[in-house]
């Protein structure tokens, strides 16, 4: 008789606890789904960022090469202008 009463009490307590936990479990499931979506989105953002970094590095290298080439051309043209006696207006001078 005592075992039956204990089992009945256990059953009621278990049912009450499960009922009380249902909203918490639902909220946790929702939060987990959102976390998974955010993780997927972050992965996509990171992939895009990595691709942009590669492109930006290429632009930086190209810019540096162009800067070097402009300096070389400026020196060559400057020598030719000096030999020819050409005086450049200030607005045509290459800024350094």
- Residue among 94, 65, 58, 96 nearest 77 (CA): 94
- Model pLDDT for residues 69-85, shown as the tens digit of each residue: 999 999 999 899 999 99
- Residue among 72, 62, 61, 60 nearest 96 (CA): 72
Cα separation, 85 vs 92, whole angstroms: 16
- Model pLDDT for residues 35-50, shown as the tens digit of each residue: 999 999 999 999 999 9
Tokens of 5: 């009463």
Give me the pLDDT at residue 43, please.
96
- Model pLDDT for residues 51-67, shown as the tens digit of each residue: 999 999 999 999 999 99
Polymer length in residues for the chain: 96
Tokens of 19: 């009922």
The answer to whether the beta carbons of residues 88 and 81 sit under 8 Å apart is yes
Cα separation, 54 vs 37, whole angstroms: 26
């Amino acid at each position: 008789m005592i075992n039956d009463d204990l089992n009945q009490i256990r059953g009621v307590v278990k049912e009450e606890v499960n009922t009380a936990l249902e909203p918490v479990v639902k909220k946790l499931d929702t939060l987990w789904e959102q976390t998974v979506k955010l993780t997927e989105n972050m992965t996509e953002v990171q992939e895009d960022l990595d691709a942009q970094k590669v492109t930006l590095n290429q632009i930086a290298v190209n810019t540096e090469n162009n800067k070097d080439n402009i300096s070389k051309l400026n020196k060559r043209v400057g020598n030719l202008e000096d030999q020819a006696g050409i005086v450049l207006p200030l607005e045509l001078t290459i800024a350094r």
